[in-house]
Structure 1
Amino acid sequence: MFDINSLAGAISGEIVQRGNTETAHGIATDSRVIPSGHLFVALRGTNFNGHRFADHALRKGAAGVIVENLDWFDSEKELLDDKWVIRVENTYRALADMASWWRRECGWTLIAVTGSCGKTTTKEMIHDILSTQLRCGRSAGNFNNEIGLPMSILSFPQDLDVVVVEMGMNNPGEIRNLSRIARPDIGVVTSVAPVHLQNLGTVDDIRKAKSEILEGISRGGAFVWDMDDPFANIIGAQAVSGFSLLGKPVASGWSYFRFFPELASDPRVEPITPAEAKADPASPQTVLRAENIALNYDGSLEYNLRSGDKQKGDCPGLKVTIPSFGSANVVNSCIALAVSAGMGISLEQGVEALRGFSNVGARMRRLSHSSGARIVDDSYNSNPVSMSMALRDLLMLPCNGRRIVVMGDMLELGEKSLEFHSRIVSYMIDSEIDFIAGVGPLTGEAMSTANGAEGRAMSFDSAKDAAQYLNTMISGDDLLLVKGSRGMHLENFISSLTLAESVESAWIR
C-alpha cells in the first residue's frame, strides 16, 4: 500500500486531480492487466504510448494515473471524478524515483545480482537459502531492466527482511542507473563474458559496464564476485581498494573463488584476458573454494566446499550436492553461499538449503525422449562462455551412446560473431561430440567451413526441421544438448520432439 500524497511528492508530481482514496494498492504499467486500486504509469516508447490507454486503465479500476500530458483529459472527465491524476515531466524518471523512494521507506537489506551469465539462477539460490531463516523477497523472472527493476522494488511489501533483485543491461550506463535506484547493501557480479558485444564493443567494455554496480552500493556494503573470472576480478579489486567511479568507499565483506582444474578454459573459446587481469588477485576478507567437482549420471552436481577467512583461518570442507544439472552451478552456488554467510546464515545451513534447488525455466533442464535418450534443455539463451561450459558438462556426463548437440546461433556478438561460432564448432568437432545439428545462418556457415564436419554436422532452416530429423535418429543411450540464443526459439525444437511421459525417466538408472 502506498500513500499517494507521499508518492506524488517523491516524484515531484503535479496533482491535477485528487481521488477519493489516500492509498494505492500498487503500481502498474500494463493497462490490460491492471489490478483494481493500482496507479497506472503511462510509459512512452518508440513503438508504444501508454497515454493512449490511460482511460482504459481507469475503466478497469485504476485508482489514478501518472502521465506526462493531459491531451486525453477533457474527453474523459466523466472517468475522473474519483480518480487521481498526477502529471510529471517524464514517466520513466517518475517510475525510477518511486522505486528509490520505496527503497528508502522500507528497512530491508537489498542484494543486487548482475553478470553476463547466471544472474537468475544465482538470485534464486540466494533467495532459497535466505528464506530458510529470513522473510525474503525476490524479483520475478528476469525483471532486470529500467522498467522491470523499479517494478520489482515497488512490488515488495514493507515487512520483508531482505530482497534479491537482478540488474541486466544492453548498453553502458544502464547498470549505473539501476544501482542508483536500488542502492544495494550487497552487490554481486557473477561473470563477465562476451554478450551484447554488438552494443558494447569488447569484453573489457562489458567489464566496465558491469563495474557500474559499485556506484550504488551503500556505505559499509559488500561486494561478492568470482575471483577466477579475470574480468570480474578487476571489479573486485576496485571494491577491495575502496575505489568506485564516484570516489565513494565501497567495502568488500565477502568474496568467492572458483577452483576448476577439471574444466580448464579452452583457448579457442574463452575471451582474451586484459593486461590488468594478470596482476595479483584482489584480497578479500573471506574466500570460498570449490574442489573435486563431479557431475553424476542423473545430472546432479557435487563438490567439496572450503572456506578461508583472514581472521578465522580455513574451515573444514563441506560436501555440496545440488540436484540441478550444470557445473555452472558451482559458480552460482558459491556466490549464493557467500552472500548468505554475509547475512548470518552458516555455510552448513546454506549447503542444506541447496539440496532442494531446481533450475529455473529452460536452463539446463533435464528431459527424456520417448526413445529413452537424455536431453539437456538449455534453450533459454547462449553466449560463447556459457556454450563452452555446457559442452564441457556434456563431455563430463557418463554416456553409453552418442553425444549430440543442437546448436542455435549466438546473437548480438558484433563483428566477431562468425569467429565465435567457428571456434565453438571447431571445439565440438575436435572433441567427442558425435553429431551437431545447427540452427541458424551463423552456425551453418561455421559448420560449412570447419575441417572434419562432414558426416558429423548438418544445418537446418528451423528448429522444427531439426526436431523432425532427430526424432527418428536418436536412440535410448544418446545424450542431447539443446542450446542457443533466445531469438533462435529453440523452445520450438523441444516442443516438436516426442518426449517421454515422465520428463526425467531417462536420467534415473
Structure 2
Amino acid sequence: MNLTLADVERCLTGAAEEGHDAIPVNSVQTDSRTVSKGDLFVCIEGDNFDGHEFAEQAAAKGAAGIVTAKLVDVDASVIMVRDTTRALGRLAACWRDKCGAKLVAVTGTAGKTTVKEMLHAVVSRKFETAKNYRNFNNQIGLPMSMLKADESQPVWIMELGISVMGDMEDLAPIANPDVAVITNVGPGHLSGLGSVAGVAKAKTTLLKYLREGGVAVINRDCEPLREAALKIVPEPIEFSVGHNDTSYVASFLGGSGTEGWGRFSLRTPEGDGEFEAPFCGAHYAENLACVAAVAHQLGLTRDDVIQGVRTLAADPQRFCCKLAADALIIDDTYNANPLSMARSIETAAEMAGDRPLVLILGDMRELGDEAVRRHEELGQLVKRIAPAAFFYKGDHCGDVICGLDGDNVTGVKTPEEFMRAWREMGLTGAVVLVKGSRSLKMEEFANALCRERGTGRDNTAGAQEAKTK
C-alpha cells in the first residue's frame, strides 16, 4: 500500500500533521490481532464489540496510527472522526482514486457472487484484477476489500450486498463505480427491504452513484428492476436469456457429458455459438449473459468470456457438484432466498433426469411478513418437481407442508437423522440438492453424505477438457 499517515489524515480530516508525510502506512486493519508495525488501525464499533477497547493493543504492536471516534490514551498518532465505519469507507474511496482503478460494482438478489467470480476469471485474462473475498460486501467488507487492492491492478470487481433500506446509500458512494451491474431483483431480505419493489428501488440506488461516463448493466428479463433502473439511467446496457432484441443473450442447452457441466449458447455483437462450461442450469445462462455484457464494456471479447468462464473453479458451497460413489451431491448451502431456491431446485431436477432426485432443504430467512407465503410456495414447487425424497430443516416446515398439500416431507434436525433415513432408502444413482439459509448450517448435511459415500470431488476436475464449437 502506497499511503502515508499524512494521506490518511488529509482524506479523513482535510489536514495533516507535520512530518506525517514521512510515515508510511503498510495496510489497514480493523482487528487488533492482525495489526503489524506500520499498520493503520480503525476502531470499529459493532453490536457485540468496540474496537476502541483494543486501541492500546494495536498501538503496542506498532500501529502507525489509530482512527477513533472516542478519546483514547495510546502511544500512537490518533485521527479523530465522527464515525469510524464511514471513515473506513471514505479511506477506501481515497485509495481507489489514488490508484486510478476502474471499478465494477456488482449487486443483485441472486448470482452476484457468481457473477463477480466469473468476471474475475474473464477480466484476469487481460488485466491484473482485484476482487472482494467471497461475500465480504458490506460496510466493512467492501472498503477492506478495496484497501487490499493495489496500484498494479487496474480493474477492481467489487460485490455490494444490502439487507435493509439505507445500506446502498452507504456502499454506493464508496464504490462510485465505472460500471454498475445489477444481476436481478427478487424476494430477498424482505424483512429489511419490504417488497420486491423495495428491493428494486434499493438496488438501483447504486446507479445514482455512477462516475461521469459510467455504464449501467441490468437484467432485461426482470421488469421491476428495469422499471426502477430506467428512472435513473435512460439507456442501460441490457442482457437477457429471453429477449433476443438485446445485444447479450445466453441460453442453457442442457447438461454435457461431464457430470455437473453444462452446454450454453452465447450471442454478443461479435457472434453466436455454443460451448461447454463447468456449471449447469438456466440461472448460469443469466450470469453468463451478464458477464459478457460487462466484459465488452471493459474491452474484452466473446472469446475471452468463453475461455475465462471455462477456468472457473466451483465455490464449495455455491451449487458445487461433488461426485461421491454413485451419488451426485450438489452443495448449494451458502445461502437461500426464494429466487435462488427455485432456480437451484429446477436445475437439480433437470440434471437428475431419470435418476432419483433428493432434496434436503432448510428455511429461507429474513423474509419478514412474506415468510409464510414464500415457504408455502416452496412446498408447491417441490410438489410439482416430485422428488424421490424430500427432507426439511427449520421452523417453516409446517408452511412447506401446507404448500405440498399432502405430499410427504421428512423433518430433520441433524445430519445423523438424515443419514439414518438415507440408508433406509437404498437409493442408487441419486442427485441430491442441499440448500438453505446460512444460519442453518446445511453444509453439515452435504458433508455427512460425502463422508458416507466416500470422498467427494468437485466437478471442476478436468476443466481443460471442455470443448468449444
Task: Give yes or no for the alignment of 1:487 onto 2:442.
Answer: no
Paired amino acid for 2:438: R
Tell me the residue number matched to 2:123.
Answer: 130
Structure 1 pair 202/463, CA: closer, same or farther in 2 (3 Å)? Answer: farther
Q: How big is each residue's C-alpha offset from its partner over 1:88-144, in whole Å with a ceiling of 9 and x where there is no partner?
A: 222112112111211221211100000001111101111111110112111111111
Paired amino acid for 1:358: A
Same amino acid, percent of matched pairs = 28
Task: Give yes or no for the alignment of 1:328 onto 2:328.
Answer: no
- Which segments of structure 1 move beyond 4 Å, counting only runs of 4 or more? 13-21
Structure 1 pair 67/15, CA: closer, same or farther in 2 (3 Å)? Answer: farther
Paired amino acid for 1:290: A
Shift of 1:21: 5.5
Task: Give yes or no for the alignment of 1:49 onto 2:9.
Answer: no
Greater CA deviation, 39-48 or 457-466? Answer: 457-466
Q: How does 1:431-446 map to 2 (within 5 A)?
A: 431-446=385-400
Tell me the residue number matched to 1:175.
Answer: 168
In the aligned structure 2, how far is the partner of 1:343 from the partner of 1:485?
34
Greater CA deviation, 105-114 or 88-97? Answer: 88-97
Greater CA deviation, 7-16 or 60-69? Answer: 7-16
In the aligned structure 2, how far is the partner of 1:217 from the partner of 1:184?
5
Shift of 1:413: 0.9
For residue 396 of structure 2, give the secondary structure of its aligned residue in structure 1: helix
Q: 2:242 aligns with which of 247, 259, 275?
A: 259
Greater CA deviation, 394-403 or 410-419? Answer: 394-403
Task: Give yes or no for the alignment of 1:410 onto 2:370.
Answer: no
Q: 1:117 aligns with which of 92, 110, 118?
A: 110
Tell me the residue number matched to 2:373.
Answer: 419
In the aligned structure 2, how far is the partner of 1:419 from the partner of 1:382?
16
For residue 441 of structure 1, give the secondary structure of its aligned residue in structure 2: coil
Task: Give yes or no for the alignment of 1:459 onto 2:411.
Answer: yes
Shift of 1:174: 1.3
In the aligned structure 1, how far is the partner of 2:243 from the partner of 2:440?
31
In the aligned structure 2, how far is the partner of 1:119 from the partner of 1:388?
16
The two structures have a TM-score, normalised by structure 1, of: 0.84
Q: How does 1:334-483 map to 2 (within 5 A)?
A: 334-370=289-325, 372-447=326-401, 450-453=404-407, 456-483=408-435
For residue 367 of structure 1, give the secondary structure of its aligned residue in structure 2: strand
Q: How big is each residue's C-alpha offset from its partner over 1:223-277, in whole Å with a ceiling of 9 and x where there is no partner?
A: 1111011122224423541xxxxxxxxx63x32122299xxxxxxxxxxxxxxxx
Tell me the residue number matched to 2:62.
Answer: 61
In the aligned structure 1, how far is the partner of 2:252 from the partner of 2:28?
48
Paired amino acid for 2:240: F
Decide whether the 8 Å contact of 2:324 with 2:456 is kept in 1: no
Q: 2:255 aligns with which of 283, 291, 295?
A: 295
Decide whether the 8 Å contact of 1:196 with 1:412 is kept in 2: yes
Structure 1 pair 448/99, CA: closer, same or farther in 2 (3 Å)? Answer: same
Paired amino acid for 1:300: W
Decide whether the 8 Å contact of 1:296 with 1:398 is kept in 2: no
Shift of 1:63: 2.1
Tell me the residue number matched to 1:93.
Answer: 86
Paired amino acid for 1:147: I
Structure 1 pair 260/287, CA: closer, same or farther in 2 (3 Å)? Answer: closer
Greater CA deviation, 426-435 or 10-19? Answer: 10-19
Task: Give yes or no for the alignment of 1:157 onto 2:150.
Answer: yes
Shift of 1:16: 8.4
For residue 240 of structure 2, give the secondary structure of its aligned residue in structure 1: coil
Paired amino acid for 2:287: N
For residue 358 of structure 1, give the secondary structure of its aligned residue in structure 2: coil
Structure 1 pair 239/20, CA: closer, same or farther in 2 (3 Å)? Answer: closer
Task: Give yes or no for the alignment of 1:27 onto 2:28.
Answer: yes
Shift of 1:381: 0.8
Shift of 1:171: 1.0
Shift of 1:399: 4.0
For residue 361 of structure 1, give the secondary structure of its aligned residue in structure 2: coil
Decide whether the 8 Å contact of 1:15 with 1:87 is kept in 2: no
Tell me the residue number matched to 2:467.
Answer: none
In the aligned structure 1, how far is the partner of 2:458 from the partner of 2:173?
43
Which runs of 5 or more residues in structure 1 are unaligned? 242-250, 262-282, 309-314
In the aligned structure 2, how far is the partner of 1:288 from the partner of 1:380?
28
Decide whether the 8 Å contact of 1:321 with 1:354 is kept in 2: no
For residue 304 of structure 1, give the secondary structure of its aligned residue in structure 2: strand
Greater CA deviation, 83-92 or 132-141? Answer: 83-92
Paired amino acid for 1:418: V
Tell me the residue number matched to 1:272.
Answer: none
Q: How big is each residue's C-alpha offset from its partner over 1:415-462, in whole Å with a ceiling of 9 and x where there is no partner?
A: 121211111112212333121101112024422673231xx3211123
Shift of 1:200: 1.5
Which runs of 5 or more residues in structure 2 are unaligned? 463-469
Paired residues, number = 458
For residue 11 of structure 1, give the secondary structure of its aligned residue in structure 2: helix
Q: What is the aligned-residue RMSD (CA, Å)? A: 2.5
Q: How does 1:267-278 map to 2 (within 5 A)?
A: none
For residue 430 of structure 1, give the secondary structure of its aligned residue in structure 2: helix
In the aligned structure 2, how far is the partner of 1:20 from the partner of 1:55?
23
For residue 205 of structure 1, give the secondary structure of its aligned residue in structure 2: helix
Structure 1 pair 165/471, CA: closer, same or farther in 2 (3 Å)? Answer: farther
For residue 164 of structure 1, give the secondary structure of its aligned residue in structure 2: strand
Q: How big is each residue's C-alpha offset from its partner over 1:148-207, in whole Å with a ceiling of 9 and x where there is no partner?
A: 111111111122211100111111121122111111000000010101111121110110
Paired amino acid for 2:441: H
Q: How big is each residue's C-alpha offset from its partner over 1:311-342, in whole Å with a ceiling of 9 and x where there is no partner?
A: xxxx5412232212343211112111111111
Task: Give yes or no for the alignment of 1:213 onto 2:214.
Answer: no
Tell me the residue number matched to 1:266.
Answer: none
In the aligned structure 2, how far is the partner of 1:50 from the partner of 1:94?
14
Decide whether the 8 Å contact of 1:444 with 1:459 is kept in 2: no
In the aligned structure 1, how far is the partner of 2:298 from the partner of 2:15?
41
For residue 248 of structure 2, give the secondary structure of its aligned residue in structure 1: strand
Decide whether the 8 Å contact of 2:256 with 2:276 is kept in 1: no
In the aligned structure 1, how far is the partner of 2:229 from the partner of 2:240?
11
For residue 32 of structure 1, give the secondary structure of its aligned residue in structure 2: helix
Paired amino acid for 1:366: C
Tell me the residue number matched to 2:466.
Answer: none
In the aligned structure 2, how far is the partner of 1:18 from the partner of 1:57?
21
In the aligned structure 1, how far is the partner of 2:377 from the partner of 2:305?
38
In the aligned structure 2, how far is the partner of 1:327 from the partner of 1:362?
18
